[in-house]
Structure 1
Amino acid sequence: MARERIVMLSDSRSYYASVEKDAHPELRHRPVAVGDPGRMSGIILAACPIAKAHGVAATERVGEALAKCPDLVVIRPRMQRYITISLLITEIYERITDQVEPFSIDEQFLDVSGSLSSFGPPDEIARLIQSRVKLSTGVESRIGIGPTKILAKMANNLAKRSENGVFRLGYDNLEKELWQRPIDEMFMVGSRMTRHFMRMGLAMIGDIARLELSDFKRRLRREMRKQSDIMAEYYWQTARGIDPSPVEPAIRADALKSVSHGKALRSRLYRKLEDIDVVLLELALEVCSRARRLGVQGRVVAVGAVEDGEERATSFGRQTTLPQATALTHEVAAAARRLFVAHWKGEPVSRLYVSLTGLGDDSAIQLDLFEDRAATYELERATDRLKNRYGSDAVMRASSLLESGVARERAEQIGGHYR
């Protein structure tokens, strides 16, 4: 008989705010939130437990948070710091098991099935993780334990309410601990699905789990008035903790379908082709750099745009197939520009994207009688190495220094936030 897996989901409590409080010991007993203190209309990204006790919540406006808690200390986000600490936490996990899968910047799955003989039972491993992460980063961890990823995730939600921050969900306590919970506490059940389930008389998670699958499918189809069998099977399996998916230590290379990059723009600044050209080139640079880093090249270039007309916004997306696979900036940029010029209506542009698909391994480079493509690849890879070492703004096209360029601003940000 196969041994039951032991999967954990470790979540960092109030992650961004915890990192900042660790960096500022003088704020240990103060309410702290992460956001832009200079923008009252900006969004709170995270709040520490003290701030939450005053009613401050993530996603609300900075001005609203300060109105609730005048003593709130709002700290500008430092995304590079949060990524660095997250990678450090991953390294801590990897000293216990090599089966670690990041779920988000502050959540990671661990399969510790093969670690029990070295580190003890699951509860001891959970406490060891909490101790090591706290000592190394100052961040507190909540850990859900289960035989599947879905149960570990829902156990993690319950761990947030437990005294020691650890909770286990197994098939032995599923009915007692999970099935008695309200339906909106089930993973991936939002407000819309909650309303559907309540109308169906399914107020608790166990109300779904106790149904036969065929009956649940029939009832959900009647409620939603459309084909919903796949959705029904997903929620039924979730309620019963069924999830065969493994903990994946890394993204599978064969799952990579495209490399793309887009940018939201202030449309009043992008009315002329000469200004839009600058951004198209910068997007092509980013796409090709990512492709080379992943070891791929593609044959299909796509470009898309949103145009802000006087009466309404319109959009288009077009693609073209190249004669040979590439990850060279000038080839992708030229194809993207041709597509854009052919389909642009001349209205101000508020969003642009460029993508590369039809991907394959870049170990073989198609030669050309009129261009040394291999030498060009080496030149661009050398540029990549400089950027990786000294920052993305270490080497920059002269056009990016124009007012219409966005690369300089983007180099100071991660995920739309400043480093």
Structure 2
Amino acid sequence: MAKQRTIMLIDMMSFYASVEKAKMPEYRNKPLAVAGDPARRSGIILAACPLAKAKGVSTAEPLWQSLQKCPELIIVRPHMQEYIEVSTQIMSIMEEFSDQVEPYSIDEMFIDVTGSLHLFANDPVDLAKQIQDKIFNATGVYARAGIGENKIISKLCCDMIAKKVEGGVFHLKKDELHKHIGQKPIRDMWGIGSRMEKHLWKMGIRTIEDLAKTPLTKLRSKWGVNGEVIWRVANGIDSSPVSTDSYSVQKDIGNAMTLPRDYTEAWEIAVVIQDICTEVCRRTRKKGLMGSVVTMSLSGADFDHPTGFSRQIKLEDPTNITVDVCKIAKQLFHKYWDGQPVRRVGVSLSNLSSADTYQLSLFDDQEQKRAIDKVMDDIKDRFGDIAILRASSITSAGQAIDRAAKIGGHYK
């Protein structure tokens, strides 16, 4: 009989805000939030410390609403490079306890301690507290730990129990699953959004235990494989391993950019498309890949009256050449744009394959294009992302210079 696994989900509390407070002790006992730059129309709360949350401040709400609730709120601009570095540091700490650590997000990581638990502690809770203490002492970030026999149970445990109990650590045994979370609203369960919640309510499913007891055939007939997924989550069933290479297979490479204002002129939008294609193709080349599907998307700023499109083209041969991808993206733009103001632009390459082998063309000088891309890549790698730019990128519409100072849309 296989040994029962012991898996933890380690979650960093208010991660961005905790990193900021750790480096600024003077704010230790004050409400603090990390928010986007209001001048760039991205003034939303990215993270709030517990003191700020106690005042009603919540993640993803507009900055002005938070300041109405908590006028004394200290606002800090995000420093994404620091958060990435601290996340990497935390992962290294966890790897001291097991070689099976899987990042789930920048502030959540699974760790399988089945084979190493006996080396450090007599029980999982004690080990979780050791990990918790080591992370706090090294980074100043407070971690919570949900413990279970699989990833699903540890995730449910962390989100619904460990985050709310004193000490931030809880071990949820499978045979006690519904004793602890069975009567919680279905909306609280991982994987259930507002739309799915409405469908489940119409079926008379109100709690997690209701969902767990619903016949699987009924859920599969309504939602197919997705019906089985939510049923398995509600029952704590999961055989997936904690894998160190879960994110090694990439399906697409893309960038999407929220613009600082509405763009209404075709030339302005074309400049942004050029900037995005340049970055997407550079990243694709860096990974030694090519893509044979180009996807172009646009959207407006009014969520109540959405505008825009998302269209794609399958290429005859895969490519990572900037001018070729940009040409296709612009063709899609000019064909499908309805002339309405644009606030967000995205381009991606998918159906990826190795760049080691590619089709030669008798009618198009692909080698010259590749040589130009290589020179530009080499200059940027050596001297920085904005060491060489196309002239259009320094116009009023260009975003390449501003983008180079950011990670994930936020300043480094």
Q: Secondary structure at the match of 1:45?
A: strand
Counterpart of 1:258 in structure 2: which amino acid?
D
Which residue of structure 1 aligns with residue 2 of structure 2? 2
SS at match of 2:348: strand
Distance 1:35 1:252 in 2: 28
Aligned mates of 1:319, 1:37 — CA distance in 2: 32
Deviation at 1:182, TM superposition (A): 3.9
Which of 142, 148, 152 is 2:154 aligned to? 152
1:17-56 map, 5 Å: 17-36=17-36, 42-56=43-57
Read off the aligned partner of 1:243 and give its amino acid letter: D
Quick one: which of 185, 188, 204 aligns to 1:185? 188
Q: What SS does the aligned partner of 1:363 have?
A: coil
Deviates more, 1:20-29 or 1:235-244: 235-244
Look up the match of 1:11: 11
TM-score by length of 2: 0.86
1:97 equivalent in alignment to 2:98: yes
Aligned counterparts, 1:3-402, within 5 A: 3-36=3-36, 42-120=43-121, 121-157=123-159, 158-198=161-201, 200-214=203-217, 217=218, 227-251=222-246, 253=248, 255-265=249-259, 269-273=263-267, 275-306=268-299, 315-344=308-337, 349-367=342-360, 373=366, 377=370, 380-381=373-374, 383-384=376-377, 387=380, 391-402=384-395
Residue 403 (structure 2) aligned to one of 388, 401, 410: 410
SS in 2 for 1:404: coil
Q: Give the deviation of 1:22 after TM superposition.
A: 0.5
Kindly report the root-mean-square deviation, in angstroms, between the aligned alpha carbons of the 2 structures. 3.2
> What SS is found at the alignment partner of 1:129?
helix
For the residues of structure 1 that align with 2:206 and 2:296, how far apart are their CA atoms? 46
Q: Which runs of 5+ in 2 are unaligned?
A: none
SS in structure 2 opposite 1:259? strand
How much has 1:278 moved relative to structure 2?
2.1
- On the 8 A contact 1:271/1:349 being kept in 2, the answer is no
Comparing 123-132 and 171-180, the one that deviates more: 171-180
Distance in 1 (alpha carbons) for counterparts of 2:330 and 2:118: 59
**Is this contact kept in 2: 1:37–1:75, CA < 8 A?**
no
The 1:175/1:334 distance shift into structure 2, 3 A limit, reads closer
Change (3 A) 1:395 1:100: farther
Q: Secondary structure at the match of 2:353?
A: strand
1:60-85 CA distance string (max 9 Å, x none): 33233223323221112222221221
Determine if contact 2:307/2:340 at 8 Å carries over to the other structure: no
- Provide the aligned length of Structure 1 versus Structure 2: 407
CA contact (8 A) 2:263 2:343 kept: no
Tell whether the 8 Å contact from 2:9 to 2:151 is kept in structure 1 after alignment: yes
User: Cα–Cα, structure 1 residues 111 and 373, in superposed 2: closer, same or farther, change >3 Å?
Assistant: farther
1:197 shift after superposition: 4.5
- The C-alpha deviation readout for 1:28-52, integer Å capped at 9, x for no partner, is 1111111257569932221111222
8 Å contact from structure 2 (residues 12, 144) kept in 1: yes
Please list the CA deviations of residues 222-250 of structure 1 after superposition, one character each: whole Å capped at 9, or x if unmatched: xxxx8235444223211210012222323
Distance 1:176 1:413, change over 3 A: same
Unpaired segments ≥5 residues, structure 1: none
| Counterpart residue type for residue 137 of structure 2 | L
Instruction: Tell me how far 1:400 sits from its aligned partner.
Output: 0.9
Is this contact kept in 2: 1:365–1:373, CA < 8 A? no
Give secondary structure in 2 for the equivalent of 1:57. Answer: coil
> Is this contact kept in 1: 2:44–2:61, CA < 8 A?
yes
Give the SS at the match of 2:243: coil
Q: Secondary structure at the match of 1:173?
A: helix
Q: Tell me, what secondary structure is at the counterpart of 2:45?
A: coil
In 2, the alpha carbon distance for the partners of 1:183 and 1:338 equals: 45
Question: Could you tell me how far apart the structure 1 residues matched to 2:247 and 2:49 are?
Answer: 36
